[in-house]
Structure 1
Amino acid sequence: MRKTLLLLLLLAAIAAAGTWWYLGRDRIDPDAPLAFVPADTPFVFASTNPPPPAAIAQWEAQMAAMGEVYANQFADLRAMLADKPDSDPRLLAVLDAIEGEFAGKTPMQAYTDLGLSMQAQMAVYGLGLLPVARIELADAAKMHAFLGRLADAAGDLANAADIDGAATWTYAPPEAPLAGLIAIVGDHLVISLLPRTADRAVQRQILGLDRPARSLADSRGLHALNREFGYIDFVSGYIDSARLLDATTGEPDAIQAAFLAAIGLTKPSLDATCRGEFAALAAAWPRMSFGYTALDARHAAARGVIETRTDIAQALMKLRAPMPGLPAVDGDTLVHFGLSLKLAALPEVVHGFAKQAGDAPWQCDALKPLNDGFAQARQAATNPGLFMAAPVFRGFHIALTKLTLGEGGLPEDIAAVLTLGSDNPAALLGLAQSVAPQIAGAGLVPDGEVRALPPLPNQPIDAPLHAAMSEHTLALSLGEGEQTRLARALQSNAAEQPLLVIGASARFYTLLADLMARQAADLPADADAETRAKLEALNTRMAREADTLRTVYANLFQRMDMRIEFTERGIELHQTVDLP
């Protein structure tokens, strides 16, 4: 009996722990920004947890190195606005006040003096179509004092008011129907727009004084999205097509009605045909989502997904083809770019979409151009050149390892690998030989062996050429020692079939900065004073932009890679960043 009782107690404890874990794992502070986001918002980009401490430390170090860059960018903005003949002196006064607030401070000092925190959570979301940003404050009093000083500098461009305990500042000329809104509501900074004639109920809703009946914190919708797509609990978001359509075409809510009244417009109505066809489009492309999939002190990864109807996704996946040359990319690669597409399947896919449009043409006037677009695409897909290229080409990839620029910005030395994918590399080789007949003497066969090639006609750089060939790949290298990459370039992973890849290291942007600095205009000896002044200003700006490019990219990342691919969900974008 005692053993039975102990067993029952143990099972009850396990059940209680499981219930606590399931219900409490996504628990959100009732005053977190996500608690102010309507559960049915059309769009949101928000944090569900603070960033990892290691990532915060990395960001603080990056900000410390960027102080001069931020100051220069702010000075350029101020100068650009001041040069405009219709520039508003009140706006310039605000910019001068901001500059005075931050002068002599590091970016982190300025950040802290504003009452902000790197651990703060945030949300950017839609109240219908109205975007609202809500950010946690570490010290609301500091932000309140800062905004008060800016309002004093702005004169009648700013209007301060208390709305049921919320400190608000609106920025706009007195005659404007809409104003930019900045407010402190509790420990939150709120940024949005506000109609001048909005009643108190609309004001309270925008400020979040009146919360939604059901929030995204209540529904845990963002947490569910994160689990579905593998996003970590940091920052993620989505745009919901059906909700966005409803907000655009449905009956105006109180906020939308206030905006329409302020600008003197009425909301256009859609007839049943247009409403149905737009709804069909929304169902075909229901949602776009995005979020981080990894984040620490040295690495970040993000994913974006444009979801499509299942039949659309399956049709697009017919275009997938293995990307050639990717294994040749490593830490020494300056920049690389690749495209893979199964051209042989393109006519079938295009004809399928065009047939759907032809069998049931769009009737709504706003969508009728789609009928012509699909008809033109179908005609283009019957191009004889496409049918000639389809058996020969299914992808290319080029990776640049070395680039040395000489006088005038022209390359003096280069090292690169070009890889071509084909279902018939022999035909591809024949095409290459027709362009450069001397390739024929190299004896290339699909055995993976590296062979030296004679120089090509009009080859701009004196560098050794090599080539290798496999059953589905032809790879060529240019540059001393670059042939050692050809064996890897011939490898192909059937699981990696992106449509597009592109990546670069910070060193590549340093090269671009050097090139930009060399483009400074020469000052003609006979130039008048005005021309010389303009050229000197241009040269100074280009030199500063080159320095900014070096500083920014050297501190932001070591290398960045991105790929776009067709998957069973639709169209996906993946980005990885290696941090300094």
Structure 2
Amino acid sequence: MKTFHARSLATAVFCATFLVGCSNESDTQTSAPTPSTPQSSVATTEGLLSYIPSSSPYFFASREVLSEKDALELIERSGYFRYLDEDLATLRDYRDQVNSSEEAMILDIALSIGKELTALKTLEDFHNAGLKPNAHSAIYGLGLVPVLRIELHDESAFETMIQRVLTDANLTPIKKRFEDIQYWSLGGSDEWPVELVLAIHEQQAIFTLLPSTADNDVLATLLGQIKPTDNLANNQVLAQLEQRHSFTPYGAGQVSSARLFSELSQPEHIASQALFNAVEMPALDAGECQQDIDRLIKRFPGLTIGMKEYGPDRFQMNTILETDSALAADLKTFAANVPGLGQADSLASIGLGLNLPVLIQTFQRYALEVQQAPFNCDDLQGINSMWADISDSLNNPMLLMSAPAITGLKLRIDSLFIQNYEPSGTGLLTLASPNAQGLLSMASSFVPQIAALGLSNNGEVKNLSPEMLPPGMPSVSAAMSSDALTVGFGIDTPAVISDALKAPSNSEPLMLYGHLTDHFYSALIPFAEQMSPFGDELSGNELSRYSSLYKNTELWIKADDYGLEIGFAVELK
């Protein structure tokens, strides 16, 4: 059996999303929906945002969308539909092995949806399926209950596509109607007290969860018949979020720690109340933990997500763990400058920039704070133990001795290949230090050959004698400045090492940065095929796919005024 890898799982989830509101039960009503005709969409930006309450514990929405042309180009260049047949073949293999009837039903739905998606090649194909390649969409919480809204091109065509999928998957939906909205549901039994719902209304597909004990007010709220008075369409919450973090209007959102915990402990929204009633669970009783929880919420007020770039050739998503101002200020002191860190100037690279003495001092201060004011809640005792362990680890003599000597490193891979059946390559290792001479002395105690180079901080490149190297190892050269040491492996041009030593740091200090290019994926293919070091999860075919799709991928961690940011960017071919 082929490996059921993450991409195939994503295929199943993506496909099944279209039909979360369907089941194999018989019709409960005979009424049919009123046929719709293509029309101007009412799911405009303001239309979608008007359903999202300003008090929502979580949301992600966009104020603008790409043009249909750019959206189609992005879909094509991202390769999702291009390789859908391969992913569906893997999914079919997995489907043949499952024993659970519920899992088999979900996979049947996913495969049927996938069959429809493989036919989407042109804008006309999307429209014939009732879809828009650049649809407005929003996901948000009505209390704890999630709602997903997606703009449609044509309700009738979308429903026709849904019916084809159901027939192919041998399923019959439960159709229900609330006022003028038709919807399908799955669940609502003693074993499954929450219904999965799909509704089609006003040129939108609406996906949500409906507690089986919910009354009409809850249903009307979830389906949008009752809109919140204070919503994202009539205030500047989303625009301000974009401005604060330099996000584009193509997508941004947040999770509020305070609002989320409030709904868990003292549910105010009628949807949250209905959910707790349906599952017959009491709301969370904070009790003696309330003060500790408030302490954590104050320190970590939420999570923010947004797109800083979004187009047919490149996109960038940033996730920010928001912290209080004191912790944010401390985090900003951790980053240290490392020559070349943040530059995608090779096959691949990975690097760290950390001011270890400052980091150790700060962590010791926080450990002392927790020791002096420990968390009292039984469920949070792990935090006390964690900080005690961190304090012990930071008192390691080797760490305390080496911390002042190094503030970061960057490993740069220039080439990667198999030579005489052995892995080989060329690249550079740069070590940053406030005292490069001290770093050289420390490094020499572990690698005596470095001392033989006789380096000084004038940047002169020197070569290590081949006699001092193990057989088969590429040439080694090095150069040193007052604040960095660069060692080259298999680099025959001294200027390459000099340039790496003098390379500027990123304009914003980074704690971590890494990148992978299409050439790196290509270089790994012989390793995967001949040496199989990565197993089935990273086969030659998979690497070839990545190489054909992704020109460059980047990942970084840095701190700003609002907390800790994790960034991810992809440049498409």
Q: Give the TM-score of the pair, scaled to structure 2.
A: 0.84
**Shift of residue 30, structure 1, vs aligned partner:** 7.3
CA-based RMSD of the aligned residues comes to: 2.9
1:23-53 deviation line (CA, Å, top 9, x unaligned):
xxxxx94762211111111111111101256
The structure with the largest helix share of the pair is 1
Task: Kindly provide the CA deviation profile for residues 166-207 of structure 1, in whole angstroms up to 9, marking residues without a partner as x.
Answer: 221123496532232221121111112222332222122111
Question: Which residue does 1:529 correspond to in 2?
Answer: none
- Specify whether residues 385 and 30 from structure 1 end up closer, same or farther in structure 2 by C-alpha distance, changes over 3 A only: closer
Contact (CA 8 Å) 1:499, 1:564: kept in 2 or not?
A: yes
1:280, CA displacement in angstroms?
2.1
Q: What code does the residue aligned with 1:205 have?
A: T
> C-alpha separation between the residues in 2 aligned to 1:382 and 1:286?
31
Instruction: Look up the match of 2:49.
Output: 34
Question: Higher mean Cα deviation, 42-51 or 421-430?
Answer: 421-430
Inter-partner Cα distance in structure 2 for 1:471 and 1:445: 9
Are 1:443 and 2:454 matched, yes or no?
yes
- Which residue of structure 2 lines up, in the alignment, with residue 216 of structure 1? 232
1:488-522, Cα deviation, whole Å (9 max, x unpaired) = 2222438442111111112222333443333569x
Work out whether residues 170 and 182 of structure 1, in 8 Å CA contact, stay in contact via their aligned partners in 2.
yes
Q: Which residue of 2 aligns with 1:181?
A: 197
Contact 2:74–2:311, Cα closer than 8 Å, also in 1: no
| Matched-pair contact (CA < 8 Å) for 2:341–2:510 | no
For the pair 1:340 / 2:363, whether they are aligned, the reply is no
Give the share of equivalent positions with the same residue, in percent: 25
AA at the equivalent of 1:390: A
| SS of residue paired to 1:443 | coil
How far, CA to CA, are the matches of 2:436 and 2:121 in structure 1? 57
- Classify 1:209/1:153 alpha carbon distance in 2 versus 1 (closer, same or farther; 3 Å): farther
Is 2:568 the partner of 1:554?
A: no
How far did residue 366 of structure 1 move? 1.9
Compare 141-150 and 380-389 and name the one that shifted more: 141-150
Who is 2:512 aligned against? 500
Flag structure 2 segments of 5+ consecutive residues without an equivalent: 1-42
Change in 2 beyond 3 A, CA 1:199/1:461: farther
Q: 1:393 to 1:52 in 2, by over 3 A?
A: farther
Q: Which runs of 5+ in 1 are unaligned?
A: 1-27, 522-538
Change (3 A) 1:352 1:520: closer
Q: Show CA shifts across 1:475-500 (max 9, x none).
A: 01112435432222222438442111
Cα 1:130–1:350 change in 2 (3 A) is: same
Aligned partners of 2:129, 2:186: CA distance in 1, in Å? Answer: 19
Separation in structure 1 between the aligned mates of residue 303 and residue 557 of structure 2, nearest angstrom: 14
Q: Distance in 2 between matches of 1:59 and 1:319?
A: 37
What whole-Å deviation, never above 9, does each CA across 1:326-373 have from its counterpart, x for those lacking one?
Answer: 37x454x11100012111123320121122222322112222221222
Maintained 8 Å contact 1:343/1:389:
no
Shift of 1:552: 4.1
Larger Rg: 1
Q: Is the 8 A contact 1:467 1:474 kept in 2?
A: yes
Q: Counterparts in 2 of 1:119-518, with a 5 A limit?
A: 119-152=134-167, 158-172=173-187, 176-251=192-267, 253-271=269-287, 273-326=288-341, 329-331=343-345, 333-406=346-419, 410-411=422-423, 413-455=424-466, 459=470, 461-481=472-492, 483-491=494-502, 492-493=504-505, 495-518=507-530
Q: Structure 1: how far apart are the matches of 2:357 and 2:273?
A: 52
Quote how far apart the aligned CAs of 1:317 are: 2.6
d(CA) in 2 for partners of 1:100 and 1:304? 34
C-alpha spacing 1:143/1:335, structure 2 compared with 1 (3 Å):
same
Contact 1:157–1:173 (CA under 8 A) maintained in structure 2: no
Residues 244-291 of structure 1: per-residue CA shift (max 9 Å, x gap) = 1212211353212322222222223122x4223212211111132122
The structure 1 residue matched to 2:99, chosen from 80, 85, 89, is: 85
In 2, are the aligned partners of 1:44 and 1:123 still within 8 Å (CA)? yes
The one-letter code sitting in structure 2 at the alignment partner of 1:243 is R
| Cα shift readout 1:281-325 (whole Å, capped 9, x = no counterpart) | 111111321222233444333333222112112222332211233
- Return the TM-score normalized by structure 1: 0.83
CA positional deviation for 1:61: 3.2
Query: CA 1:460/1:128 → structure 2, altered by over 3 Å: closer, same or farther?
Result: farther
